[in-house]
Amino acid sequence: MSYIQQLQNKLNFEKIFFTLVLIFAFILPLSRALISLIIILLIIVWGIQGDFKNKINTIKNNKVLMALFFFILWNFISLLWTDYSEHLLRTIRLNFYLLGVFIIATSIKKEQISSIITAFLSGMFISEMIAYGVFFELWTFKHATPATPSPFMMHIDYSVFLAFSSMLLLNRLFSSLYSLKEKFFISFFFLTVTGNLFLSTGRTGQVAFIAAIFVLSIIHFRLSIKSFFISLLLLISIFSSAYMLSNSFVIRVNDTVKDVTRVFNKDLNGSWGIRAAYWIITYDSFKEHPFGSGLGNYSKAIKEQISKNNYTFIDKRSKQFMEKYHPHNQYLLIILESGFIGLLLFFNLIYQMLVFKIKDKEIKELSTLFVTIFFVSCLAEPLLIKQFTLVLFVLFMGLFTLNNSNFKEKNLNHEK
């Protein structure tokens, strides 16, 4: 018997995977280094476990996992026409993080989902308590400041975490599955998370939160006048409170109004204006490169168009900024790198995530809210090339896809 076979017989893989994913969920909002370590350990243990025939069958029979597989595959095919760039190796590395989705979907049991979500919320609670301490100047922590109290990640990424956590808790408040005592603690946690979201300067999560409020109302009250007014009432209450209590929120609202006004005046040198300019530049790049410029080559594609075209609507400083940074939009980035095929495969992934069937009503509701928040946020930020938001996607897509699958049970029954 080989050493690997001896190891396979000794190890309790179910317990190992559950422990690793539980830790992964907890440290998700807290540590870059530990996130990478857990991903590596998951890949190693998954490889040692073997049983690849059943794993491949599970993946092949799951439309969501296959949609993700084809999206990743096309990304790597685009390497055939990419050039080496400063972003290439990092982009390839981050694509390997997506293996975590397949590992979670084929290794975790459905009854473990609740504990994993609780671990994630526990990590978020620690994160936000640190953030509140920074905001009220009780202590200092890394690069967080009272103006941007995001302790472990960029404020834009943190706003996505906060928006999802807030909607997860609000959905529980609407649910009949929780007792009054439980809802009391859920209410407190919801208020602190939502307050943190609007203390943050991350407008990405705030906009996604608005969209998710409407989706939540439709989930619980169907598409009706009642759901519309409930959404409106919630938004008015939350946003008016934020406007009265958070100076940073007031500043960001005023900045947004100024930026939008500048866009209407055809001045695209503000925050929102530069985002609009990226759409124009991406369209010009797409006309020349319908299959994209290759994985990791978004910066090269942008520089190429700026050097070719006289974009008078942006000044020199804005051009320098745009050549240096990503296009602040996941969909534009996909067009720049992998063209219309990449975008179609990405839309197929979103569609499959929305339509897959989940027997557990609460998990199905949560999956719909997650898809709403994540992919609305992708309009303002390329979340799949940023470590924290990428692993947020990995964890919850893995859990929701697992809940959609009975293939492991079928395989076990077949073996019996």
User: What would the two tokens of residue 194 be?
Assistant: 């939502």
Q: Show Cβ contacts of residue 191 under 8 Å, excluding neighbours closer than 6 positions.
A: none
User: What would the two tokens of residue 96 be?
Assistant: 């390997």
What pLDDT does 411 receive? 43
What pLDDT does 408 receive? 45
What pLDDT does 383 receive? 96
Residue 29 within any structural domain of the chain: no
What pLDDT does 404 receive? 53
Residue 211 within any structural domain of the chain: no
| Alpha carbons 361 and 274: distance in angstroms, whole number | 41
User: What would the two tokens of residue 356 be?
Assistant: 């897959």
Number of domains composing the chain:
1
Residue 112 within any structural domain of the chain: yes
Q: Which of 385, 292, 293, 383 is nearest to 341 (CA)?
A: 292
- The per-type count for the chain, helices as H runs and strands as E runs, is 20, 0
Residue 231 within any structural domain of the chain: no
What pLDDT does 241 receive? 77
Q: Are 85 and 300 in contact (CB under 8 A)?
A: yes
Residue 88 within any structural domain of the chain: yes
CA angle (344, 345, 347) in 5-degree steps: 65
User: What would the two tokens of residue 93 be?
Assistant: 């590395």
What pLDDT does 338 receive? 95
The range of the structural domain enclosing residue 117 comes to: 52-205+240-259+326-415
pLDDT 10s digits, 290-315:
999 999 899 999 999 999 998 888 88
pLDDT 10s digits, 62-97:
999 999 999 999 999 999 988 876 678 888 888 889
pLDDT 10s digits, 4-22:
677 677 778 999 999 999 9
Q: Are 101 and 394 in contact (CB under 8 A)?
A: yes
Residue 71 within any structural domain of the chain: yes
Residue 284 within any structural domain of the chain: no
Residue 376 within any structural domain of the chain: yes
User: What would the two tokens of residue 110 be?
Assistant: 């459905």
What pLDDT does 157 receive? 94
**What are the residue ranges in the chain where pLDDT is below 70?**
1-4, 7, 85-86, 201, 245-246, 403-416
CA distances from residue 190 to 125, 183, 187, 260, 392 in whole angstroms, order as listed? 10, 10, 5, 31, 19
